[in-house]
Amino acid sequence: MHAPCSVLAVKNSIDVSARVMVGIDGSPMARAAVECLLRLPLPREVRVTAVGVVPPMPFEATEESAQHTRFWCAGEGLLDS
């Protein structure tokens, strides 16, 4: 899922055990998001995680790669039984 613009989701209050995630992709908007995050008055205990985002890599889908994906997703509990 992709948003056509920057997205900021915030609960009513920030718990000191809260975590913040910011996506970075090298774009001016991502840089602005990081700069905005740095200006927020977050408690020191808040854990900030930067996630690198890259465009999907084209690859040839094979039955072997599909089996690998199904195996991985099943191991992560991402597939319905």
Cα separation of 56 and 3, whole Å?
A: 16
- Look at residues 1, 5, 2 and name the one whose alpha carbon lies nearest to residue 32: 5
pLDDT tens string 8-30? 776 676 565 678 888 888 889 88
Q: Is the pLDDT of residue 49 over 70?
A: yes
Question: pTM for this structure?
Answer: 0.49
Cβ pair 38, 65 in contact under 8 A: no
Are 47 and 19 contacting, i.e. CB atoms less than 8 angstroms apart?
A: yes
